[in-house]
C-alpha cells in the first residue's frame, strides 16, 4: 500500500487529514478503481484528495474544472510544493505544449488541468488524452506500450498513462442543478470514449436528486461510492429580513457598523449590474470602503479589483454572483444578499464564502416578495420551449423554494438549508435569527393526529399496493387531505420533522429507466409518542385539532 501519510507530510507539508480525506484517497487508489461522487463543502479540502492521489499514482490525472482562477491558484500552490502541473488552454504555444507532453510522458508532471470547453473543442487535447489512455489499456488489453501494467504502481497504470479523470463542480452536468452548463454535456461521453477509466466527481452542493442525476449522466459505475460530508458550517450565523427599499442602504450600513465590521472584509451580492453600481455609490457616501464587480467590467480591471480586495485594500465588494468563485480568501467576515437568490444551492455556496478561517462570520439576506416574482418570470423566459419534463419547471421551483426558506420564521436556518440539500440535522444551530428568537411567530403544537393519519395511510397503502412503497408526493397528497389547515410549506416541514424523529425514512434512487424516485418507509418499530409537538405558525389555525380525516374505504387498517 502506498504511504499516503508520507506524501501528506513530505510533499504537502501537512500532519493530518481532514474529515473523509483519507478514506476518499484510499478509495481512489484502491485496486477496484471505483468511481466516486464526493460531496464536500467549499473549504473541506477536496483538492488535496485528487492532488495527493495523483502524486501517489504511477501515471497522471486529468482535472476538469470550469473555474480558471481556481486552476491557476492550484498550479501555483502545487509549484510551491515542488510539483509540476499545467493548464491546457487554447493559447498555449508550441513550446508549452511540447513541455506538457514531455512532462506527462516522463512522469514529471502528475496533473493536467483543463476546462470543460477545452475538452469539447481541443482536438490536440483529445489526442493527448487518448494516447495516454491507450498506453494504459493497450490495443488488446491491460498491458500497454509504455511499460508492463501492474508492475508500476497501485493502479497498474504505466508511467505516462492516464490514471483517472477528476470532474470538479460536477453539479453543472445536471439540468436539475442550479448551475447547468452546456459545455458539461461533453463530459457525458467520457465513459464511452474511455471505457473503464476511473471518474471521480466532486461537488460542494447537490440535492439528492442532483446526486442521482450526476451518477446517471456521467455514467459513474463500477459500484460507485458516494461520500457525503455535513453541510453544517458552525461558524456561520444566518439572518434573514424582509427588505425596506427606501432604507436599505441605511440598514446595511448600520448592520455592518453594529457588528463591528467597518474595517472587515465582506461581499455584498446584488441581482443586477445597475444594482451593484448603485449600492456601491450609496455605501461609499456612508464612508465604507467599497468597489463593484460584474460581468461587463473589462478583464484586466476585474483582476485589479479582485487583487485589491484580496490584499485588503478594498474591504467590501458589491458583486453579481460571478464574484469570488474560486477565490480562496479565508477572512471574509460577512456576506450580504440584497435580493432573493435564485436557488438555495446558490445561496448556500455564496454564503459559504464567509468564514473559511473558521471564525464567526455573518450572512444577512434582505428580500421581498417582489424579488420572487421577478426571478420567476425571468426563469420562465429561460425555460420556455426548451427541454421536457420536470426540469422545465425547475428554475421556477427553485425560486419558490428559496422564497419559502426566506419567509420561514420558525425553523432553524441551518436545519432548513441542510434539509433542502438532503441532510437531516437533529439539532438546531442556536445562532440563526429563528433559533435566537429574534423572529417569534410560532408555537409548539401537537402533531400526533397527523402522525396517526400518516401511519394509517401507510398501512392502507401497503395493504392495497404491497408491491410499491409510497412516494413523498403520496405523503404530501395525504397531508393535503388530513392536514388541510397547514400550509404546503408546513406539510413539508411536518414530513421532515418525522424523518428527524425517526418515524419516517425517505430514500432517493433511480428506477430501471433511470428516473429519479423517492421511496418512503414507515418505522413501525417506533411507538407513537402522544406528546409529539412541533413548532407551527401561531396564526395558522383556530380549530387546530379539528382535522378532516379522509373516510377510510376499502383498505384494511
Query: Which of 412, 417, 425, 447 contacts Zn ion by CB under 5 A?
Result: 412
Contact between 425 and Zn ion (CB under 5 A)? no
Least separation in angstroms between residue 238's CB and Zn ion is 7
Q: Is 37 helix (H, G, I), strand (E, B) or coil?
A: strand
Nearer to Zn ion, 278 or 428 (CB): 428
Q: Which is nearer to Zn ion, 197 or 418 (CB)?
A: 418
Q: How many CB atoms lie within 10 A of CB 391?
A: 17
Quick check: 412 and 431 in contact, CB under 8 A?
no
Question: Is the CA virtual torsion 200, 205, 211, 216 positive or negative?
Answer: negative
Which contiguous run of DSSP H or E holds residue 512?
none
Q: What is the x/- site pattern for Zn ion, positions 355-394, by CB under 5 A? A: ----------------------------------------
Q: Between vectors from CA 367 to CA 361 and to CA 370, what angle results, nearest 5°?
A: 165
Q: Within a 13 Å sphere around the CA of 372, how many CA atoms are in the beta-carbon half?
A: 17
The C-alpha cell that represents 225 in the structure block: 461510492
Sheet (strand 290-293) strand order: 236-242, 361-367, 332-337, 265-269, 316-319, 290-293
Report the DSSP beta bridge partners of residue 491. Answer: none
DSSP E strand stretches across 154-193: 162-167
Scanning 74-82, 350-358, 402-410, 427-435 for contacts with Zn ion by CB under 5 A, the matching segment is 427-435
Which is closer to Zn ion, CB of 350 or CB of 433?
A: 433
| Least distance in angstroms from the C-beta of 405 to Zn ion | 12
Q: Which stretch binds Zn ion (CB under 5 A): 2-10, 329-337, 381-389, 407-415?
A: 407-415
Q: Interface with Zn ion by CB under 5 A: which range of 310-318, 325-333, 348-356, 432-440? A: 432-440
CA–CA dist 212, 174 (Å, integer): 9
Q: Does 240 bind Zn ion (CB under 5 A)?
A: no
Instruction: Name which of 240 and 489 has its Cβ closer to Zn ion.
Output: 240
Q: Please report, as residue ranges, which positions from 144 to 203 form the binding site for Zn ion (by CB under 5 A).
A: none
Interface segment toward Zn ion; rule CB under 5 A; list 67-75, 91-99, 102-110, 411-419: 411-419
Of the candidate residues 29, 109, 435, 469, the single one contacting Zn ion (CB under 5 A) = 435
Q: What is the DSSP letter of 108?
A: S
333, 341 contact by CB (below 8 A) = no
Residue the block writes with cell 478503481: 33
Question: Please, which residue, 437 or 554, has the CB nearer to Zn ion?
Answer: 437
User: In 329-368, where does DSSP find H-type helix?
Assistant: 344-351
Give the C-alpha separation, 215 to 213, whole Å: 5
Q: How far is the CB of 423 from Zn ion (least distance, A)?
A: 14
CB of 235 to Zn ion, least distance (A): 13
Phi then psi dihedrals of residue 367, to 5 deg? -145, 165
> Is 37 one of the binding residues for Zn ion (CB under 5 A)?
no
Which of the ranges 216-224, 271-279, 423-431, 466-474 carries the binding residues for Zn ion, by CB under 5 A? 423-431
Provide, rounded to whole angstroms, the least separation between the CB of residue 446 and Zn ion: 23
Cell digits of residue 492: 413539508
Closest to Zn ion by CB, 318 vs 435, is: 435
If one asks whether residue 429 binds Zn ion (CB under 5 A), the answer comes out as yes
Size of the site for Zn ion (CB under 5 A): 5
Examine residue 410 and tell whether it contacts Zn ion (CB under 5 A): no
Stretch that binds Zn ion, among 44-52, 114-122, 251-259, 426-434 (CB under 5 A): 426-434
Rg of the chain over CA atoms, in angstroms?
Answer: 26
Q: How far is the CB of 354 from Zn ion (least distance, A)?
A: 16
Task: Walk across the sheet containing 162-167 and list its strands.
Answer: 84-88, 109-114, 60-64, 162-167, 198-203, 36-39, 225-228
Q: Which is nearer to Zn ion, 376 or 416 (CB)?
A: 416
Tell me if 432 contacts Zn ion by CB under 5 A: yes
Stretch that binds Zn ion, among 161-169, 430-438, 467-475, 513-521 (CB under 5 A): 430-438
Phi/psi of residue 425, nearest 5 degrees: -100, 125
Residue 70 to residue 52: CA distance in whole angstroms = 17
* Residues forming the site for Zn ion (CB under 5 A): 412, 428-429, 432, 435
Amino acid at each position: 500500500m502506498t504511504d499516503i501519510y508520507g506524501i501528506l507530510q513530505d510533499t504537502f507539508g501537512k500532519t493530518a487529514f481532514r474529515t473523509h480525506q483519507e478514506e476518499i484517497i484510499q478509495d481512489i487508489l484502491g485496486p477496484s478503481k471505483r468511481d466516486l461522487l464526493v460531496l464536500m463543502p467549499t473549504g473541506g479540502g477536496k483538492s488535496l484528495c485528487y492532488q495527493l492521489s495523483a502524486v501517489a499514482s504511477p501515471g497522471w490525472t486529468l482535472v476538469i474544472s470550469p473555474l480558471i482562477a481556481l486552476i491557476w491558484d492550484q498550479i501555483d500552490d502545487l509549484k510551491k510544493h515542488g510539483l509540476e502541473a499545467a493548464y491546457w488552454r487554447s493559447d498555449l504555444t508550441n513550446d508549452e505544449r511540447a513541455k506538457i507532453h514531455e512532462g506527462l510522458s516522463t512522469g514529471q508532471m502528475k496533473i493536467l488541468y483543463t476546462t470543460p470547453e477545452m475538452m469539447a473543442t481541443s482536438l490536440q487535447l483529445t489526442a493527448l488524452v487518448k494516447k495516454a489512455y491507450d498506453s494504459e489499456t493497450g490495443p488488446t488489453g491491460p498491458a500497454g506500450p509504455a511499460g508492463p501494467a501492474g508492475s508500476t504502481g497501485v493502479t497498474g497504470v504505466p508511467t505516462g498513462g492516464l490514471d483517472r479523470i477528476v470532474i470538479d463542480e460536477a453539479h453543472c452536468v445536471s439540468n436539475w442543478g442550479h448551475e447547468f452548463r452546456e459545455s458539461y454535456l461533453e463530459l457525458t461521453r467520457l465513459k464511452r470514449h474511455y471505457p473503464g477509466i476511473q471518474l471521480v466527481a466532486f461537488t460542494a452542493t447537490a440535492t439528492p436528486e442532483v446526486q442521482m442525476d450526476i451518477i446517471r449522466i456521467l455514467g459513474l459505475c463500477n459500484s460507485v461510492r458516494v461520500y457525503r460530508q455535513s453541510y453544517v458550517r458552525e461558524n456561520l450565523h444566518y439572518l434573514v429580513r424582509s427588505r425596506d427599499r427606501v432604507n436599505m442602504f441605511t440598514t446595511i450600513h448600520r448592520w455592518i457598523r453594529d457588528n463591528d465590521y467597518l474595517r472587515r472584509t465582506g461581499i455584498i451580492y446584488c441581482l443586477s449590474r445597475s444594482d451593484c453600481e448603485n449600492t456601491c455609490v450609496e455605501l461609499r457616501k456612508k464612508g465604507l470602503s467599497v468597489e463593484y464587480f460584474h460581468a461587463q467590467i473589462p478583464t484586466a480591471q476585474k483582476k485589479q479589483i479582485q487583487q485589491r480586495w484580496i490584499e485588503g485594500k478594498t474591504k467590501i465588494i458589491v458583486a453579481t454572483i460571478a464574484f469570488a468563485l474560486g477565490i480562496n480568501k479565508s477572512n471574509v467576515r460577512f456576506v450580504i444578499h440584497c435580493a432573493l437568490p435564485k436557488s438555495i444551492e446558490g445561496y448556500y455556496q455564496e454564503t459559504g464564502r464567509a468564514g473559511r478561517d473558521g471564525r464567526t462570520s455573518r450572512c444577512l439576506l434582505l428580500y421581498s416578495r417582489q424579488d420572487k416574482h421577478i426571478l420567476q418570470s425571468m426563469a420562465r423566459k429561460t425555460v420556455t420551449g426548451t427541454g421536457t419534463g420536470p426540469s422545465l419547471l425547475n428554475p421556477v421551483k427553485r425560486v419558490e423554494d428559496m422564497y419559502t426558506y426566506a419567509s420561514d420564521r420558525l425553523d432553524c436556518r441551518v436545519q432548513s438549508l441542510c434539509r433542502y440539500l438532503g441532510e437531516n440535522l437533529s439539532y438546531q444551530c442556536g445562532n440563526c435569527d429563528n433559533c435566537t428568537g429574534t423572529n417569534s411567530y410560532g408555537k409548539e403544537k401537537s402533531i400526533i393526529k397527523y402522525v396517526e393519519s400518516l401511519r394509517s395511510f401507510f398501512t392502507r397503502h401497503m395493504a392495497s399496493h404491497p408491491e410499491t412503497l409510497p412516494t413523498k408526493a403520496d405523503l404530501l397528497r395525504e397531508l393535503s387531505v388530513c392536514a388541510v389547515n397547514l400550509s404546503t410549506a408546513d406539510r413539508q416541514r411536518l414530513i421532515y420533522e418525522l424523518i428527524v424523529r425517526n418515524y419516517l425514512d425517505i430514500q432517493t434512487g433511480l428506477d430501471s429507466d433511470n428516473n429519479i424516485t423517492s421511496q418512503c418507509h414507515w418505522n413501525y418499530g417506533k411507538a407513537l409518542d402522544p406528546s409529539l409537538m412541533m413548532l407551527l405558525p401561531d396564526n395558522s389555525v383556530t380549530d387546530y385539532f379539528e382535522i378532516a380525516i379522509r373516510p377510510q374505504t376499502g383498505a384494511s387498517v
